[in-house]
Amino acid sequence: MDDKPYDDIDIDRNKLHVQTSYENGPDHLHGRGISPMSPYEQHEQSQRLDDELEMLRAETTVQRQHSQRESLSHARSLVRTRSRTKPEPEDDFDIGTTPVHEQTKIYQPPAKPSTQFAKFFVRIHESSFLVRYFCYIIPITLIILIPLLLGALRFKDNTVGGVDLVWFCIWLEIVWLTLWLSRIIAKCIPYPMGILSSLFTNGHKMWRDLGRQLEVPISLFFWWLAIEISFLPTMTNHHADGNKATLDWELTMNKVIVSIFVGATLNFVEKIIIQLIAISFHLRTYADRIEINKFETSSLVKLYVYSKEKIALKDSDFETSSPEQRSGIDSPMKYISRAGKGARQALHRVGNVAGKVAGDFTGRAVSKRSNHPAQVVLQLLSSTSGSQVLARRLYRTFTLEEAETVLGDDLRPAFDNNEEADAAFSMFDKDMNGDISMEELEAVCVEIGRERKAITASLKDLDSVVSKLDNLFLFIVAIITILVFISLISTSAAGVLTSAGSAVLALSWLFSATAQEVLQSIVFVFIKHPFDVGDRVTIYGNTGAFGKGDDYFVKEISLLFTEFKKMEGHVVQAPNSYLNTLFILNQRRSGGLAEAVPVTMKFGTTVEQLEGLRVKLLDFVGSENREYQHNILTELKTVYEAYSISMNVVFFYKSNWQNELLRLQRRNKFICALMVSMQGPSQSLPFHPQHNQNLSF
């Protein structure tokens, strides 16, 4: 090639161009001592295209899922569009982490009704509660109205059990209408509960949700109260013979009603106790974790919003736009960046798609105009690869040119005030060294996503535990109701109860162990609660392969047992009554931990040599301050027959041992550094028994 200047060479900009000789061009690297792109930059550039493709792949997947649901939910969406909609769909994490114990629905309509009547009923079931109640009330009311009108107009002398037919039908109408009146009253109670609770606490939403979960017990209580109040006055005052004395069947019926009313009252009290247990347990165990995770997620949302706005204003922040850089390496990367630009332009649709998925998942209507960035962040946090993509996206946004870490001041433009920015920076800066690397940012984003999943799974299991406890209490309520009924009906109730008590006492040996196990399990799960789902624990006692304890991951928590997963993958089930008697070490709830590495040194090693080894290791942990605390301890333990000594080298992690793979990586790195430090020219070598003839005294 001739020696004319590089700028005068005609280059077709539409084709990939590789300059093989640039002796006189501006890309000549003679004397610079650097490459056109460092290995770190090359790795970052290669990941950039993968990240854009991953975002595009996630969007395509969600769009496909939405198109499959759209045909099934079209009819329901027509009904829901009339109701009020939110600009931002409610997150399923917020729904799943409510403090109250949510009851399952009694009736679940079929997704694809096969008959016209079923389709009509499903349409009514999904309409407003006023329309539903009207459609439910009218048919039965009209049916009861038929004998009432016949008794009033045609058969005026007919009676039912000595009571005028008209008034007996009126009482039936009272029974039916008070059911729905009590239902409407129970539906209105949560709102004054929320208003009154706001005078004493900031958790008014929690108490409003509590009222909503108590709607059915409240309805039953008021319904049977109305039945009890209306029965005797309606019957005794409208006897056909004019006698106002209570008849035998009326007394018996009243006793039955009283027994059922006692059961409804006890059921109401039991539901309140269950909800208070769930709320107290939630606030004591999970409230802080949930609030921290919500703050972390909201911080990621703000950072993503700033990143998105920055891309819209200056897309060149993610591309190599300098016209002077035309090296053989830069040109392919420039075309790769252009190829990834199309994927980035499609990213704005992820918010709408993720919002629709969240709406379908939670059963709530979502406006099509909703493209809140929170939905994009939640979609990415749902998987490990998506969390890493989000982390790298934020890293590229906030990393200054020629810098490989993010500082605290770099995050300030994305937040409203400095306090919030400092809190977010401390959230990412786990090692507290004043900067954030890309690996550190990836680890934090993955941890946030896993924490969301762990909290949701743990609360789901514990909600199942509360359901089993609820069933147990309902069984006790049923027993009490039956005893009340027997005492009211039987004239010799004392003898019946005495006989039943004697039979139960005689069989106490049969279920005493079960009752004790249930009580111990309740204490273990709700009071002690030493672990949550996803925690890594060490259980001491007669456990493990050698009967000396072992490490497990908590897989599932039930009322009577807990399932663990061993490091090797085995699933182990342990009764909670037995775990209640053991010592349990929770790795996730622990802080930065220390570990001792035993080392055997040759006899004659001096204090100066040990101190030199300690100084070298201090230099190592100082250089790796993201993973280790700047502290090393040495402990001389034993002298073996004047030919060797043993000591412990204690080093400190900056995190706990919840992540076993991360712990092993850091442990291996430290032991390798220890081995290299001991191989120095001024350092004593480890002792080997076959070399004892070379020992000096």
- At 279-298, the pLDDT tens digits run 887 777 777 788 888 888 88
Residue 588 has pLDDT above 50, yes or no: yes
CATH class of domain segment(s) 517-589: mainly beta
- At 206-257, the pLDDT tens digits run 888 888 888 889 999 999 999 999 999 988 888 888 788 888 888 989 999 9
The pLDDT of residue 172 is 92
Backbone phi and psi for residue 84, each to the nearest 5 degrees, phi listed first? -70, 140
Q: What does the pLDDT average to over 591-615? A: 86
* Helix pair 190-197, 165-188: axis angle to 10 deg: 40
- At 624-636, the pLDDT tens digits run 887 888 899 988 8
Task: Give the Å distances, CA to CA, from 258 to 111, 489, 688.
Answer: 40, 11, 87
523: DSSP letter: I
Of 127, 93, 80, nearest to 366 by C-alpha is 80
- At 634-685, the pLDDT tens digits run 888 888 877 788 889 999 998 888 888 888 989 999 999 998 888 764 444 4
First to last CA, the chain: 75
Task: Give the Å distances, CA to CA, from 168 to 121, 144, 251, 536, 679.
Answer: 31, 10, 16, 65, 101
Strand 594-602 relative to strand 584-586: parallel, antiparallel, unpaired?
A: unpaired
Q: What does the pLDDT average to over 520-533? A: 87
| Domain locations in the chain as residue ranges | 34-73+312-506, 116-285, 517-589, 594-694
CATH class of domain segment(s) 594-694: alpha beta
Of 430, 466, 327, nearest to 653 by C-alpha is 430
Q: Is the dihedral of CA 183, 96, 282, 297 positive or negative?
A: negative
- C-alpha–C-alpha distance, residues 692 and 109, integer Å: 83
Sole residue written with tokens 């929770």? 586
Query: Is the Cβ–Cβ distance between 304 and 12 less than 8 Å?
Result: no
Query: Is the Cβ–Cβ distance between 652 and 592 less than 8 Å?
Result: yes
Query: Is the Cβ–Cβ distance between 388 and 438 less than 8 Å?
Result: no
- C-alpha–C-alpha distance, residues 440 and 407, integer Å: 13
